[in-house]
Amino acid sequence: MKKLTRKIYGMLSYVFFVLAVFSLFLNAVSLVANFFIKDFTVALWEVAFLPVIIIFAIRHYHPIYPDCLA
């Protein structure tokens, strides 16, 4: 049971990390791009940078497990 809970916790942790980094990155790109390009939409940036952020999360992010799952 502890092993299954640890796997689920790890998967959800990766998902939330990817979503947080993705959101922050897109907000930053949108903010900077709106100064230079009016009516800028983020749709193309989403497709372009999502694989980069997922690869970054897989390589560099390691979830910290609470004591009950250690």
Question: pLDDT tens-digit profile of 31-44?
Answer: 777 777 776 666 66
Q: What is the pLDDT of residue 42?
A: 65
Angle between helix 2-36 and helix 43-60 axes, rounded to 10 deg: 140
* Token code pair at residue 33: 């791009």
Cα distance between residue 47 and residue 37, in whole Å = 19
Phi/psi at 7 (5° precision): -65, -45
Give the separation between CA 64 and CA 40, rounded to whole angstroms: 37
Report the predicted TM-score, pTM, of the whole model to 2 decimal places.
Answer: 0.62
Residue type at position 62:
H
